[in-house]
A = this chain, B = another copy of it.
Amino acid sequence: MTQELISTPSVITPAELLTHWQGHRTLTRKVIEAFPEKDLFSFSVGGMRPFAELALEMISMNDPGIDGILTGKWSTDFSTYENGRGPKTKADLLALWDQLTEKLNRLWPQIPVARFHEIDLAFGQWEGPIYFILFYWIDNEIHHRAQGYVYLRALGIEPPAFWDRQ
């Protein structure tokens, strides 16, 4: 950690970034809720994955991911979620989602500020500064959530408003 990093001009603070991330996660949770139970696990457009699988991908990346950011140790054991071991109901998926929401709130304040500019190899695969890895996850969530918006529209269901993150 260098003084230079700490005094680098700030665009967004760690606390603001957590709020930003959790705001997006709140919206994604609303999209999960908007799906009829059956369609959540089966509906698709253009051969892409159902929305439950996309939501589970977010969880399975962000849950060990926050540990990796905090400790520098990246677990690549996704056996909890792989091969159909994930939740089978909307309620179970939402419960898993909410557990992670609490975990992120609990661990985030422990991340040292200088960590955001350290280069790491996330999950032994993706190299970059921690801020880049974090934005990749958030952006990936926005990207896949938008697939969910199209699925909902194709099902004739009005999705939650994009700006509604409360």
Contact = CB atoms under 8 A, between A and B. Distances in A.
A149 interface: yes
Contacts of A163: 136
A145 B149 CA distance: 12
A146 B150 CA distance: 9
| Oligomer copy total | 2
B142 A143 contact: yes
Contact of A140 (B12, B24, B162): B162
A76 to B, nearest CB: 18
Nearest to A17: B11
Contacts of A47: 153
The A interface is mostly helix, strand or loop, or mixed, namely helix
Contact of A6 (B5, B9, B14): B9
Interface of A: 5-14, 16-17, 20, 24, 45-48, 113, 116-117, 131-132, 135-136, 139-140, 142-147, 149-150, 152-154, 156, 162-163
7 contacts: A7-B7, A8-B10, A11-B11, A11-B12, A11-B17, A20-B132, A147-B150
Contacts of A153: 45-48
Contact of A146 (B5, B10, B143): B143
Given A135-B20, A139-B142, A143-B145, A150 B9 contact: no
A116 B12 CA distance: 8
